[in-house]
Amino acid sequence: MQHIRDAAKVVVRKELSEKDIQSLRKELWSLVKAVSSRQTIQMCEINEEYFPEMKKTYPSTFKVYGYFLQEAYWFYLLY
């Protein structure tokens, strides 16, 4: 268990700004496509502009968090 905690110390969590989302939108889109391609049922289909537009429209309530390992993105959490 200590090994897991030590490894987590190098992961940096950052709330992404509108500018961050815009610059990382291709990576976000790739992640969405990778996840959605494995789903048997999709409620809707979004396009590459979804995340930048949501952040622009709802700047204080649309949150995107990036988890970075050695300054490279690792994964994102949206809510």
Domain extent at residue 66:
26-79
Q: Which residues does 25 contact at the CB level (< 8 Å), separation at least 6?
A: 48, 49, 51, 52
Q: Does residue 15 lie in a domain region?
A: no
| pLDDT, greater one: 37 or 60 | 60
Dihedral sign from CA coordinates of 74, 51, 40, 33 = negative
Our count of domains for the chain comes to: 1
For the chain, the straight-line distance linking the first and the last C-alpha, in angstroms and rounded, comes to 28
Overall average pLDDT of the 45-72 stretch: 87
Residue 18 is predicted with a pLDDT of: 95
d(CA 74, CA 52): 19
Which of the 8 DSSP states describes residue 16? P
Q: Does residue 65 lie in a domain region?
A: yes
Count the helices and strands in the chain (H runs, E runs).
4, 3
Note the pLDDT tens digit of each residue in 9-53.
Answer: 677 888 999 999 999 888 888 888 888 888 788 777 888 899 999
Q: Does residue 20 lie in a domain region?
A: no
Q: Does residue 66 lie in a domain region?
A: yes
Residue 73 is predicted with a pLDDT of: 59
Q: Does residue 73 lie in a domain region?
A: yes
Q: Does residue 49 lie in a domain region?
A: yes
Q: Does residue 53 lie in a domain region?
A: yes
